[in-house]
Chains A and B, each alone.
Chain A
Amino acid sequence: MGTASSESLSRVRHPSSVDLGAIIRQYGSYIGLALLVIVASLLSPAFLSTTNVFLILRQAAALGIIAEGQTFVILTGGIDLTVGSILSLSVVLVTSLYKYNDIRLVPLLLLVIGIGALIGVINGGAVAWLGVPPIVMTLGMMTLIQGAGLMYDKGVPQNTLTDTFRFLGEGKIWIVPIPVLVWAVVIGISAVLLYRTNFGSFVYAVGGNPKATRLSGVNVKLVMVLVYVVSGALAAIAGYVLAARMGVGDNWVGQTYALDSIACVAIGGTSLFGGRGGVGTTVAGVLLLSVLYNLLLLLGVSYFWQEVVKGLIIIGGVTLYTRRT
């Protein structure tokens, strides 16, 4: 005689039934991107020109790099609002310490990555060990880091540009702009990290069910810290790349990146509750957002509309992908 347990009796779906939700989540952003590109090219003839396409890509690079890091954090069910401040800090540090000295290029990169990672340790540590909600922790840290950057250069941006440095930001290898190349490399590394390492499997598991993951012998706390380290390090790299493009230190340059990166991850289909999603769809999300911004630009719409669009897209995307239980 079998026992009637409510757990075995509820929510039994047929394994062979089509999970529409999962399909939308996986391909929705690519389809959306394709549609948007079609619409954009119809609305503006300049859209599909080579110059414009590369402009979009070049400008999307920094955001793309940050969004990959944000994906890791969101996959574990967290959120990282510090990425924008880390980017700004990175820009400020690089432009002020570079001092026309090419030898410093590599050490500087390592320095900012180190700082970004350290901030990630603090973020992740508080979330994992103290139980501070990520939204509030990273909100507070965001302010703190912004202040740190301002204290550092007293709000006075530094100007620094040498040919080598400028090349990093403006140059190309073959026809591919270097920032885009860096972005591609980051995508590659993120994909490897997420899909080809055990760490990546743990990220999904922690986001899906931290309790069961812990009972499987995984160091859940360490995973949670590491995702913020990844996010922080990538934000720093994005800052480095941006510094090369801009040539000038700007304390406020990173302001929009936190929310933008979350938007890209969300509209890409990654669930904000964790456990579902990936780095590929985030790329689609980044392109979607960037194309949208670009379209607004081409159509002569005020720059300020970007924020409005961003907010609406986040809501639309999250609603679309929300699983109705």
Chain B
Amino acid sequence: MTQSETILEMRNISKAFPGVQALQDVSFECGRGEVHALVGENGSGKSTLVKVLNGAYAPDTGSILLDGHEVKVKDPKQGKGLGISTIYQEFELEPYLDVAENIFLGREPTNRLGLVDFRKMHSEAVRLLNEVGMHLDVRKWITDLSVSQQQMVEIAKALSFRAKVLVMDEPTSTLTDEETDRLFSIIRSLQGQGIAVVYISHRIKEVFEIADRVTVLRDGKVVGTEMIRNVDETALVKMMIGRTLDTIFPEKGEQGGEVVLSARHLSRKGAFDDISFDLQKGEILGLSGLVGSGRTEVARTLFGADRMDRGEILLDGRAVKIRSPRDAVSFGLGLVPENRREEGLVICLSVQKNTVLAVLERMGRFLFRNPRRERDITVQLVSSLDIKCPSCDCEVGLLSGGNQQKVVLSKWLSAPPKVIMFDEPTRGIDVGAKAEIHILMRTLANKGAGILMISSELPEVLGMSDRILVMREGRLVGDFSAQEATEQKVMAAATGVMQ
């Protein structure tokens, strides 16, 4: 890549957050018209790098050069103006405005009377879309478009800002194969216009199909940057996950317990299809897969939070109807959700009030409280889980992530639970607390609970699980015992790479 062809250069970028070095001395460059893939596991630093690039974060050290000139990107809006556009997984679109208005929101063209020039806006929108081979009725509302079409609108938006660099974060996670093909041909058109595409994806196959170069991040550092033609899938996967397992996980348990929870042919249109598995007492069952593979949806359905179209759930061999979280809780199930602040805790309430919330239901609905018992339960759980808080009445929103997660877990522990489902149990938690939670999980399993652990962190999946299930695009595609599983196999199943 000659000097004049490089459009984007990120040099020696470092970014730290309290307790965590998210990026360390990362250098990344992208040429005009190049598709440069950025791959790495959860927590490797991909999203932080993107946010440094588009201006959401400011780097601690390092510099960004656009077209050879150093730039300081203060915020995403300025970044867009400089030519750096980002398309996130959650689109930034107005549901009840049409395509053209979405593209030009805040910059609507006006005619001589000062009124919005719809004709010009629409024709401009059509032109932008056609430029890269997209065809849409620009007068349709966003909410009437498919996800794939909405994505096209986002791309057109970026074009309207004369993007020089377009970052796409997991663009194909919700697209069909056909739509993915269409997206790729659009990307090729973008390349033809000289636009650089930073393509973030877990889907190795696609990376090989669309990218020219690939950079692998791991633990905040660049492992390597290679031309796509110089690597193969296996090598790439190795780069992503290869590490010395310096994390110690608790010793695994014995197998062969009774089956406590069975899922039979669970299906819900658009989320997952024909999911069947057994969870044994005392077992930690890891559920792995890429973001968007349907794992959270399965867990929520098992917990009664969402409906299923078809399927059966059996508890201790008996078929049960779980139509609401209340039902699930009454059967002895617990859920530690993905997003603890939004779904796991009532932030403004105290540790005690959060801890006993699930218990109260089990203790007899709307009857009288027993403050002493609540206090006892809380104190006991706080101590056994080692939750660091000034007092049981401390507002739970003030605790650290790890301690908050422990409070969420404590909800289910006042009585021996049958099954606990964890969704990304250690996301956003520091190393020390992570280990504590792992120990807690194993202890619970050893006491007879069945644990379903959804995790995107491969070391965790391999280190904790007695058995590993892999989901991809709503289906179960892998079932490995602890002995036979390797990071390679799991990742391959998750990404669909042939061995």
Contacts and interface: CB of A to CB of B under 8 A. Distances in A.
A and B touch in their complex, CB below 8 angstroms: yes
Interface of A: 1-9, 11-16, 19, 195-202, 204-205, 208-209, 211-219, 275-276
B390 A16 contact: yes
Interface stretch (B40-48, B186-194, B230-238, B487-495): B40-48
Contact of B365 (A3, A6, A11, A198): A198
Interface stretch (B64-72, B121-129, B324-332): B324-332
A16 B400 CA distance: 13
B390 A275 contact: no
B335 interface: yes
28 contacts: A1-B219, A2-B429, A2-B430, A3-B457, A4-B48, A5-B428, A6-B428, A7-B340, A8-B400, A8-B429, A9-B17, A15-B398, A195-B369, A196-B369, A197-B367, A198-B367, A198-B368, A204-B346, A205-B349, A209-B342, A212-B342, A215-B305, A215-B325, A217-B325, A217-B362, A219-B326, A275-B349, A276-B348
B360 interface: yes
B60 interface: no
Given A5-B427, A14-B398, A204 B361 contact: no
Contacts of A1: 20-21, 43, 219-220, 431
B66 to A, nearest CB: 25
Given A12-B18, A197-B367, A217-B325, A209 B360 contact: no
Interface in B200-222: 219-220
A141 B367 CA distance: 31
B221 to A, nearest CB: 9
A200 B371 CA distance: 13
Contact of A4 (B45, B326, B367): B45
Interface string B395-409: 101111100000000
B19 interface: yes
B326 A215 contact: no
Contacts of B369: 195-198, 200-201
A215 B353 contact: no
Contacts of A213: 346, 357
Given A196-B368, A214-B325, A215-B305, A4 B17 contact: yes
B348 A4 contact: no
A2 B342 CA distance: 22
Nearest to B345: A212
B337 A209 contact: no
A205 B428 contact: no
Contacts of B19: 2
Contacts of B422: none
Given A1-B220, A2-B431, A218-B326, A212 B343 contact: yes
A197 B366 contact: yes
A162 to B, nearest CB: 38
